[in-house]
Amino acid sequence: MPVSLIEGDSLLAVDIGAATTRAVLFDVVEGQYRFVAAGHAPSTAEAPFKDVSEGVRNAISHLQNVTGRAFLDTDRTLVTPSQPSGAGVDAFVATLSAGPTLKAVVVGLLADVSLESARRLTETVYARVVDSIGLNDPRRPDEVIDGLLTLHPDMVVVTGGTDGGASRSLQKILEPIGLASYLMPAEKRPSILFAGNQKMETEVKSMLGTLTSSLHFSPNVRPSLETEDLEPAARELARLFVNVRKRQLKGVDVIDAWSNGHILPTGYATGRMMRYLSRVYGSTKGILSVDIGASGTLVAAGFKGKSTLGVYPQFGLGENLPGLLNHTTLENILRWSPLDISVGVLRDYLYQKSLYPSTIPATREDQAISQAIARECLHLSIQAARRDFPSNAASLNSRLLPLFDPILAGGGALSDSPTPGQSLLLLLDALQPVGVTTIILDQNNLLPILGAAAGRNNLLPVQVLDSGAFMSVGTVVSPAVQTAYGAQILRARLTYEDGTEARSELKFGTIEILPLPSGHGGTLTLQPSGHADVGFGPGRSGQIPVTGGALGVVFDGRGRPLDLPSDPVRRRELIKKWHWTLGG
């Protein structure tokens, strides 16, 4: 097998989503690892196949047609390592988000301490908390048992107790868990992760070892009341997630064997990359990644010394779409649409899309509805994620999103957008970033795949990130201000590398653009008016270096928080104007 950097190992990665399965090839080109090509096919987790490996083989077959290289033999089995003939690959990894949302029960002692840690831990995979059991639970043990038997959870996440602390209280809480598992059929017993007091490991094995489909242990997420460390437990929960999927979905065991165990939940793989990138950038600002897909919406953020990860299946664009109305209204979704669409048409679209999540918009109306839903899902997800952001994160205002630079965005909702301008407007509407930030589109959805690849080759993700595989949309300037429509809020001067200048005067409620091609840089001088704040302080001017992108430098003068007009006709006309400005 080749070992030098020039003749480095090739790597094939697949991402198994709820709607689409993608196969991506990485190989060495001119001494550097590069993203070479991608193939895709509809996922096959549901009927009529009900076997995820079929979708993987179909996506790899598509990749074979694109590259002219053979990766599967005549039996459609992966060829590894690569052969002298050029067939096969040296390494294979996979990420997985397909399958029904897991039902999770969280167990802990204190509601605002260990149970909160359990909730944050559970949100790192595609799971929904269906019950919480704590020290102050008012239910009798038999009521807890009845509840568990009714819910049939897929997994139980147990936290609580500092290392070496008291164990009697937690032991008492675990007794109903064991009894309920005993009463369940063996094939329906939940998997259990214990991430509490490490001194209780022997007791927990004795109590639950024979009463669960699988029992996992990880270091305590709360070794002390003041300390929370989710990463080791999240890593173990990722293994638990894959084991549950092996029981639920045919073909996962085949893909796991091909990867030699290098298969990760898509959300966890993205979180791994964000932890790395937050250390690379090392900025006083945070770094943010969002992904809007059929299985759920993912929000991962990295701050100096802390990272957060939230996976929200309830805000996915697939089979869970009708449940979106438990969190918002049809009218709230339609406020994002530039077209006059009735609530009845939107309701029908939600149910049809939930049945056929892989369909793409065929008409202008379908496109408007699809993007309006994506905006609402992402907006709700970022609001849910904000509760876990550190309180000391750099921000202009506690009511607004913290300062992030860059913001990376991917997922089918963005990669299916006809133009980069439409993708950018979707992100600006839903996230409402403030200050100055760079927007980067992961149009090939590589970020989670690179997170999985890091486990096999830690050099590959670094070089691919530097290779231009991601699209820079440009620099976005978003003043935090509220004033009358049409009032001037910012003067900007962009000085190019050759010394020429371009100027812009931004009025409230408008979006403006100054051209700056990809690969070029410049210096941006900003002079806010009144109390407008772009990161230097209310009304304070400043200079910053900027880099180009597909749209150059974009000025979003619509205010923060974004306040859309209540009059539907005026609102739709404004949205159309914003689309036009960004080339949508």
* Per-residue pLDDT tens over the stretch 295-333: 999 999 999 878 999 999 999 999 999 999 999 999 999
84, 145 in Cβ contact below 8 A? no
For 240, the enclosing helix (H) or strand (E) is: helix 231-248
> Who's near 475: CB < 8 A, 6+ residues apart?
436, 437, 438, 439, 516, 524, 546, 547, 549, 552, 553, 554
Angstrom distance (rounded) from CA 65 to CA 70: 9
Please, which residues have CB within 8 angstroms of residue 35's CB and are 6 or more apart in sequence? 24, 25, 26, 444, 446, 464, 467, 469
DSSP-assigned letters across all residues of 501-513: EEEEEEETT-EEE
Beta carbons of 446 and 470 less than 8 angstroms apart: yes
How many whole angstroms separate alpha carbon 371 and alpha carbon 373?
Answer: 5
Of the pLDDT bands very low, low, confident and very high (cuts 50, 70, 90), residue 8 is low
* E strands in 43-126: 91-96, 102-107
> What does the alpha-carbon distance between residue 295 and residue 297 come to, in Å, rounded to a whole number?
7
d(CA 104, CA 152): 9
Going through 170-285 in order, the beta strands assigned E by DSSP cover 191-194, 215-217, 263-265
What is the per-residue pLDDT for 47? 85
Cis peptide bond prior to 48, omega within 30° of 0 = yes
CA 431 to chain centre: 13
Structure tokens at 252: 């996962």
Asked whether the beta carbons of 461 and 450 are under 8 A apart, the reply is yes
Do 102-248 and 11-96 have the same topology in CATH? no
Helix (H) or strand (E) holding 568: helix 568-581
243: its two tokens = 């084991």
Fold classification of 11-96 (topology level) = Nucleotidyltransferase; domain 5 (3.30.420)
**Chain segment 466-496, per-residue pLDDT in tens:** 888 899 999 999 999 999 999 999 999 999 9
Tell me the average pLDDT across 519-538. 94
Separation CA 535–CA 540 (nearest Å):
8
- The CATH class of the 102-248 domain is alpha beta
How many alpha carbons lie under 13 Å from residue 228 in its C-beta half-sphere?
Answer: 19
Q: Give me the pLDDT at residue 112, please.
A: 84
Average pLDDT on 37-63 reads 94
**Residue range 356-381, pLDDT digits in tens:** 888 888 899 999 999 999 999 999 99
Q: CA–CA separation, 180 vs 106, rounded Å?
A: 15
Report the pLDDT averaged over residues 108-131. Answer: 92
What is the chain's Cα-based Rg?
25
Q: Where are the domains of the chain?
A: 11-96, 102-248, 267-581
584 — pLDDT class (breaks 50, 70, 90): low
Residue 279, pLDDT > 90, answer: no
Percent over 90 (pLDDT), the chain? 76
Given this model, what pLDDT does residue 5 score?
41
Token readout for 66 is 């694109």
Binned at pLDDT 50, 70 and 90, residue 160 comes out as confident
Q: What is the pLDDT of residue 166?
A: 66
